[in-house]
Amino acid sequence: MSSNSSKFPIIVLILALCMIGFGLYNLNKIPTPKYPEFDEKLTDFTLHGADRSVSFSDLAGKASVVFFGYTHCPDVCPNTLVNFGNALRMLNEDEKEKVRAVFIAIDFGRDTPERVHKYATYFHPDIIGLTGSEEELKVATKAFMVPFEKDEVNAKGNYLMNHGTYVYVMRPDGKLGELISHQSSSEEIVEALRKWIRWAE
């Protein structure tokens, strides 16, 4: 048997091990979703911004953070959007091109697209503010399993909306990557976005 023939099985073995190693590398590259039950593509829906209508599928292609709330929210919503804005400011220019921040207002009785746009962009000009009719918002909240309830109206005509407090971190392929708390810091939001930016590269 020639020396070249005896080396052939060794070369095949080395190539096989390299392929296995490459496969394991790519598997490990994909972050494990914290909530696998959401790891399916969400039902598409359409909502409205100040200048155009947006289907949720239009937002695919970039890593996104999505939060549901309303402009009359006394505490959770503004605090969360402050962190959204700070997180966007912490990204470099290349990273900013690969992410989106979306605020969906569920108070169909008071929140117009124009009002939501003004509210969202107060925290950062790149935050996309969206809302819709009651029926449109029911579809959107059902897709994300978000509570959608209006509390009792008080004597002054004011009321609160039950909207849940999760921040949804979306993968660039349109699937949910993970859920994080509304209390997550700007640094934690940035870390989550960068993780999914790297995953898509």
Q: How far is CA 13 from CA 3, 7, 19, 24, 26, in A?
A: 16, 10, 10, 17, 20
Residue 73 counted as an annotated binding residue: yes
| 163 has binding-site annotation | yes
Say if residue 18 carries a ligand binding annotation: no
Cα–Cα distance measured from residue 71 to residue 166, given in angstroms and rounded to the nearest whole number: 17
What is the token pair recorded at 109? 């009785």
Residue whose entry in the numeric block shows the structure tokens 């859920």: 179
Could you tell me which residues are annotated as the binding site?
73, 77, 163
Could you tell me which residues are annotated as the binding site for Cu cation?
73, 77, 163
